[in-house]
Each structure stands twice: as C-alpha cells, then as structure tokens.
Chain A
C-alpha cells in the first residue's frame, strides 16, 4: 500500500460542550506548524452542551480550504452518533475508536479500525480536577503518532492556543504524550495516510471572517457600534470590542473615540446606528437574517431619509429561526429590497477573510458618499470558521466623507436644499449637526414625503422626482462598488458565483478538463461587466447557497434580455459547500459524465 501524503480529511465527532474544541484546534494548528494549509470546518449545533458536533480538518496538496465531502479518518467519540458516523463512512475509512464503546465489527465491514482505551488512559492524568478537559488531548496524541505529527508541533500549537501559559502548555503536552506513547507501543499502522512538512502557508495569516470584518470596520473609522447578540454575527461585534481599544488611540486625557452599545433588540440597534449616522458619526450594526427582518422598517427610513450607516448580515439558514448554526446565502432578495415601498439597498459580497476586511472598511466610504445604508453580506461559513488568508490589506487613499453642507458649500450653492440634486448625480449635500452651522440648514429629517428643502410634501410630482433621484443615486454606486472578478475559460459555459461559493468554485474549476469562464460577483447593484458576461455566453450557470436561486433571480430581473441564458444550481443543506457539489453541477450542465 503506497502512502498518501498530505491529501486527506479527519473528522472528529464529539458532544458539544465537552472541551474537545481545543483539542481539535490543536491538531489543526500543529499541522500548520508543519507548514500545511490545514483547513477546518466546525459543524456545531445550536446548543450549549450535549448535542453532537463535528470538526473536520482537511489537508490537500493544493491547500484548498473547502470542506471535503468525505473523510478518510474518523474519530467517532460521541456515543450518540457513533452508528451514524460509521455508517456514513466509506469503505476503507480509518476509524480511531474508544475501546469502551466499540461496536460490533461485523456491522461495519471494510473499515480500518484502531481501538484505544481512552478512559483507561485518562487515569494516567494525575490531576483529577483537570482530567475531564485534558483527556481530550489523548486523542490528539494518538492522531499525531499515527499520521506523523511530531510532538514538537503539538507543543508549538499549544503555544499558539495558550500563549505564555507554560504550565498549561506542559500539562496539555503531557496528556497528548499519553496518547502518543500508547499508539507507538500498541497500534500497528495499517493505513496509507500520512502528513509530511510542506510549505503551503507562506506569508498568510489564520483568522475568522468575523474578526477580519470587525478589524475592517475599525480601519473604516466606525465610532458608534450598536448590536444585539445573534449567531453567527455575535463574534463580529465582540471581536470589534476586543480590538478597537487597542487599535485606536484614546485622546490625551484617555477619552475613548468609540462607543459600543448592546441594544435591547435589532429595532433599537438599527435606530441607534441611523441616529448616529444622521448626526455625522460612522456607525454600524451587525446581525443575521432574523435581525435584518426586524430592521426592515428603519432601513426603509434610512433609504428614504438618506442616512449613512453600515449593516452587517452574517447569513445563516432561514426561514424563521431556521438552522441558527448552519450556513446559507439566502438573504439576498430580502436585503436588496428590504422594507416596504420602492427601496433598494446596495450590498457587498466578500468571499474570504482579507476581502471581508477590505469591503468592511470600504463600506463606510460608500455609506457616507451615497448617504444610504450599505449592507455587508457574509455568512456563517466565512464568519465563524478560521481561514488561512492573505494578510489584511492596509487601506489605500483617504476616507471619503462625501458631500457635506458646510457654510462654504451653502454660500457657493445659493440654492442649497437638503435633498436638492445640484450636481446631477442624485447625491445632495447632507447636514451634520454641529458641523453645518448655517442657520438655513436646520430642518426636520423625516420618513414622510418631502421636497428638496426637506419640507413635508404630498405633491405627486415632488414625490416621484425624489424617488427617481434615489434610484439614480443607487444605480450610480456601481462605479465605487467592487467590480466582479473574471477568470477566463474554454468550455461553452459561463459560471457565476459569489461569497463563500468562491473557493469550491475555484477548486472545482481546477479539477475540470474543460473549464467554464467564471465571474465572481462582489456587489449589488451589478456592474456592466455582469451584463457583458451574460451577453458573451450562451449559457450561464449561477451556483449559490440557497433554495430559490436568489442571485439568478436578481440577475434575470435586472438583465431580462439575458434571462433565458441563466440557469440556476443551488445547494441549501446548511453545511459548508463542497467542491464536489459545485463540480457535479457544472458537469451536469456541460453534459459531462460525473466522475
């Protein structure tokens, strides 16, 4: 049996809340210390303790970070799911099992089984109080010994997880050593999987999408943050609060230059963000689908009254409470047309952590320049998993605060009105209380009909002109929104994807002999390049993570002349998208037999 180097996945099944998360991360980190771009997916339940959870680590020669649809090594350590875990494993899968809960061999033939007396080994951990936590490290040691992770890499990984805590690190290493020693003395290697050091990581960093997003907001200059907890968005606001005090200097007296408010609900969170945006601060709120639904009315207010703010939607599975800890891209349509009446909201679609930083930072310029709520749509997969990512890029250029009705502007314009389009781009000059001091600028901002001078009006003409100007303003945003990314191909097919579908798409395309051209959309409203791409291809397959093909619908709606070319392939099970699903969708479209 020839060994297979650096090309397999390990799946670890445990119960939520048992402390296995640290052990899983230690394995991933140790692989990274060996130079391997080990990716991980945390498939966790909406529960604090007890329900099943899976952690899947993948290493591949290409360093791909998508989840593999199959695993080659399984640790079925949760009695509640062991039957299912074994059943779902392909023949030949390596199984490292607890000898205390060993299932009948006959039931699962063709598996390569290693039996480990984990409970017995745990007794070798002398400190009874720490035993429940430390015993998870034993399986780390077994995995390390079986597949070639040196104990030094484990120690280094623990150093990253518990920086500076030498005693803790030593206790954990010792526990791992118990498993390592047991494996070397008792388990005879019968499988072909093996890790070897490589140079896959290079200059990259390891970061959660939400944390990169939060840092982007800090660099974007956010100073008022209002939020309400919800999975998978909570860690965004929490990361922001963790970093902002350290990154942004206080004033000489120690006065903070930001405020973070945990609001009573999302209605209040968006109200605070809009109130602050109206008053001139850079503001944000972060939430997920249920929160966006609640924010609807006030988002419409922000659109109509033309108030800048940034709203982060880390998407999860809907409808309703849905699957709170699973991923989806299913808020596109609700976000694009959120709120009653004719509204439209621009949104950004980051695909990876460094882009999350970049787009997050950029959102504040867009909101200020176009005086409208800007939405940032990531998802649970990007937000809550760690990613090996390019470093976060330093923003180039200065902050753009947009058109402000300063005294100088008022003097120059003669005919200033809060909602008067003097430059022909649909963007008026806005006021900031305390900055715009000219007495003529005082007015009452309102969500009811208003004329160019912000006075109440029910005139059909005035109303229509105002609404049309708003449309022009939003359409005009494309020049500043991130353009789509085109990858040329040779197959008679174009494919479109966005957000976290990108990595699976990239990997799928690499594995195909005949490659479709690929356009990755990064923002709405759509750039001209999107139209051009549809015009150039007889057939375009839109692949996305929702049931109704929401991006395909948006494209058909805005580009009806190409509607009949647009085909839709969807995945909406809630688990991270696998390359296999994407490849099969493309092959089916191309009429190629699936491998």
Chain B
C-alpha cells in the first residue's frame, strides 16, 4: 500500500513535479498555462534532462511562462520579438543544448516578424512555440496580427488588416517541421512536443491558446468554443520513443509513420480525411482548404526529415564553443609572427 503512494518516476528516476517551475501568474484559465503543463508532461514522459534545455522567450504573457515549467533548466527572457536571435546565439554557443523558445503572436507576428522569418530560414535545432491568442495579452487586449478579420474585440471592433496564418507562412519559408495545436488538446499537443524535441531542426508549433481575459468572448475566433467547433485535424499523433514498442490500436493502412532523427517515431493515425504531411504541396493544400471553410487545421502539417539543422550543417566541432579553452581559441605562439610577416612591406 505504502509502496503505491510513492510518486511515479520516469527513466531518469524523476517525478513529474521535478519538471515543474514556479507558480504561474497567468489569469486563471489562460491557455498559456495548459501549454506549460503539456511541456512538463512531454518532458517527463521523454525522460528529458532539463539541464540540456535552454528556455528562451521574448516579451508578453506567453513569454513569461518559461518561469512556470522546467525549473531545472536555464532560461533567458529576452526583449520583445527578439527571442529567435538570442536562441540562435545561445544554441550555437553550445549545440548540445536544445532551446525551447516560447513566444506570442504579438512577439513573433508583429515586432518580431523579421526574426521569426529568418530563424525559419536558418533552421537551428530548437522547438519554437507561439502561444497564439489573437491579442496582446500583456498590454491588455489590442489586436495582434493573427486576429482574424471576422473576429471582433470584446468591445465589438473588428481588425482592419488581414490576419497572418503563421503555419502557412512557415511553410512558405521552407520550414521543415510545421504544426498547429490547441492548448485545450493535450492528447495532440504532448506527442507533437515530443516529436518536436526529437527533431533535428526548428520545429514550429503554433498553439491556439485562448486569452480568457481579452479574447474568449462570443464571436472571437481564438476562443475555446470556436476552436472546439471549428478545429479540424486529419491525424491523431502518437509518439513512440526508440526503445518502446508500438502499442496503439490501428487498422491496416490506417497509419502513417515518420521516423525522427533520434530513432523515435511519430505515428499519425488517419482520421476522416488524410494527406501526406511529408509532401509540401499537400501541406499547403490542407491549410488552404480548411481555411477557406473557416476551419482551423491542427496537427502535424508538414515534416521533412531529410533536411538537417543549421548546427548539423555548420561543420562545427562537437565540443561546445562555450567550453573551448585558451589553447583551442588563441592561435599558438608563432602564428602571429607569421601573420605580421605577411603584412610586411
């Protein structure tokens, strides 16, 4: 009996609470907290060593959340819209560390659009989460660039500008892991996060994350209700780590299987409709088709396991640059004499 009371542990012998952070200061019911929980769950399940994770964020309610998960990981809460550059620098200084970048729709789709676009092109190995609520939560409810034209504010005003579909944009920019999820759908978000952490490249997850205070009212297209009604998905994802057997139930021909770089697998069980997410054109088509119907497509939208990350392609030494010693950094004595001689007149 007393034996049973002991909390469960993962492969590292850690409990789930070892993956928690400090107490959240989000509004009660904020979608962002559900995402933190999903990160904790995914990390626990994977047996992740949090000291190999760098939590990176920009500015916004969403960007505050790294304080509320993985308390044993180092983190950096940077400036508004600049998480991508800080994450790139930190990761390249030590490629054995994987950044989990957390950003908001304001942080990435407006002020940080430049950095968002370019980090997708650069493709470092990291997880890039946008906690997308269609508003600026922290500055109290202004429209963000992902607010839909037909989605009114609490006061009944409508956005005057087109909204940006972050997944469509990421695809356009050649991103190799593009997904969308919903903070209220842990069954989908957790396996996506696990796959994202196993992927060698930038894995982008656009998570619809309702702001209960400023954008969860009737008519809002970023509300819990709207997402439950209009969210569609074509596959149920299951993550299987390299050492585990495949133990989900499925029928013949029902399963797509993607093998990730560390040997783990992402299994996609087909639902009513199907498409091949490794085919970029099919991915574009899936986004367009659902959007035209006013639906919000979630799930793994595109994956390309052939392309490799910036760090894998960089030709860098395996030893972290941050740990190189003087004798590896400063040229040997005599080299400067040679250089000086080459400038002799």
Contacts and interface: CB of A to CB of B under 8 A. Distances in A.
Interface in A423-454: 431-435, 437, 439, 441-448
Contact of B340 (A32, A205, A250, A277): A205
A206 interface: yes
B318 interface: yes
B343 A206 contact: yes
A255 interface: yes
Interface of A: 29, 32-33, 160, 201, 204-207, 215, 218-219, 221, 223-224, 226, 243, 247-251, 253-259, 261, 263-265, 267-283, 297-298, 301, 305, 388, 391-392, 394-395, 398-399, 431-435, 437, 439, 441-448, 456
A420 to B, nearest CB: 17
Contacts of B336: 215, 219, 392, 394
Contacts of B67: 444, 456
A434 B323 contact: yes
Contacts of A206: 343-345
A277 B94 CA distance: 11
Contacts of B329: 221, 223, 248, 257, 282, 399
Contact of B71 (A263, A388, A442): A442
A253 B318 CA distance: 9
Interface stretch (B80-88, B183-191, B224-232): B80-88
- Interface of A, secondary structure class, is mixed
Nearest to A401: B326
A259 B92 contact: yes
A275 B88 contact: yes
Nearest to A206: B345
Given A243-B339, A257-B317, A267 B92 contact: no
A224 B85 contact: no
Contacts of B300: none
B115 A434 contact: no
A273 B345 contact: no
A528 B273 CA distance: 76
A205 B331 CA distance: 20
Contacts of B321: 223-224, 257-259, 276, 281
Nearest to A251: B317
B326 A398 contact: yes
Contacts of A33: 345
B128 to A, nearest CB: 14
Contacts of A399: 326, 329-330
Interface in B46-99: 50-52, 54-56, 66-67, 71-79, 82, 84-94, 96-97
A226 B89 contact: yes
Contacts of A29: 345
Given A259-B316, A268-B82, A279-B97, A219 B330 contact: yes
A551 B247 CA distance: 73
A275 B97 CA distance: 13
B75 A443 contact: yes
Given A272-B89, A434-B52, A442-B75, 16 more contacts: A206-B345, A247-B331, A249-B332, A251-B318, A255-B318, A263-B118, A267-B82, A274-B78, A280-B320, A281-B92, A283-B93, A305-B76, A392-B336, A442-B73, A446-B76, A456-B67
Interface in B243-258: none
